[in-house]
Amino acid sequence: MLKSLNAEAIGRAYASNLSVQDYSKKPTIEGIQLLNLNLFIDDGGALAEIIRLDDQGNLQLFPEFKVRQSTFSQVMPGVIKAFHLHYNQEDVWFVMPYDRLLVGLLDARKDSPTYQSSMRIVMGGGRAQLLYIPRGVAHGMANPWDKTASMVYFVNQCFNPSSPDEHRLPWDSLGEDFWQIRKG
């Protein structure tokens, strides 16, 4: 028969350093949506349906969102691409399930109930997900791992290089450690 242990059963050299990881639901930012998609895996690979459009060209999962442009982005190991926000544009992100990116979000909308709240999300890592980012929420990504990662994203306005709706904040607006892999 196995005997239960308690804190007294752990040696002094280790007992004072014990902690319990926080598994509680993390706070979210108003309007952010992270949706799980079906990822079908078989002997020959994998398949994930990223988007469906209705007859008017709107995303079925986000009916008010009309895709105007789709973009591919590749992020090399060690790169941080952050932060920027849009006044008129929303984004929908998809990170390849076999890749992994750390996504950072910061609510910069002064009238939002979650103003100044931040979120960290690991996308990819074996999951197929869509992330909806509303206008006014600063966003960015980092690749702290050792493999190049790819993503596709959809926006509801075309990029205009002569008048970009892309307003930058410093990459370390939430501190340098925000983009580091959390140890422990």
Which tens digits make up the pLDDT trace of 14-49? 888 888 888 888 889 999 999 999 999 999 999 999
Contacts of the segment 48-56: beta carbons below 8 A, 24+ positions apart: 48/97, 48/128, 50/94, 50/128, 50/130, 50/152, 51/92, 51/130, 51/154
In this structure, is residue 15 part of a structural domain?
no
- Quote the CA–CA distance of 128 and 139 in Å, as a whole number: 19
DSSP 103-170: EEEEE--TTSTTTT-EEEEEEETT--EEEEE-TTEEEEEE--SSS-EEEEEEESS---TTS---EE--
The mean pLDDT of 4-18, rounded to a whole number, is 86
Instruction: Please state, in angstroms and rounded to a whole number, the distance separating the CA atoms of residues 167 and 89.
Output: 11
Instruction: Look at residue 182 in the predicted model and tell me its pLDDT.
Output: 84
Return the structure tokens found at 165: 């709706």
pLDDT digits (tens, 9 = 90+) for 96-117: 999 999 999 999 999 999 999 9
Q: What percent of the chain has pLDDT over 70?
A: 99
Token code pair at residue 86: 């849009």
Quick check: is 23 in a domain?
no
pLDDT in tens, 34-92: 999 999 999 999 999 999 999 988 899 998 899 999 999 999 999 999 999 999 999 99
Backbone φ and ψ for 159, nearest 5 degrees, come out as: -70, 135
The verdict on residue 137 lying in a domain is yes
Stretch 147-161: mean pLDDT, rounded? 96
* Structural domain includes residue 138: yes
Residue 99 lies inside a defined structural domain of this protein: yes
Report whether pLDDT(3) > 90.
no
Is residue 160 within 8 Å of residue 94, measured between CB atoms?
no
- Whether 164 is covered by a domain: the verdict is no
Q: How many CB atoms lie within 10 A of CB 4?
A: 5
Whole-structure pTM value: 0.89
CATH number at residue 150: 2.60.120.10
Specify the number of domains making up the chain: 1
Domain assignment present for 140: yes
Q: Residue 39's domain spans which residues?
A: 31-157
Structure confidence at residue 158 (pLDDT): 95
Asked whether residue 21 is domain-assigned, the answer is: no
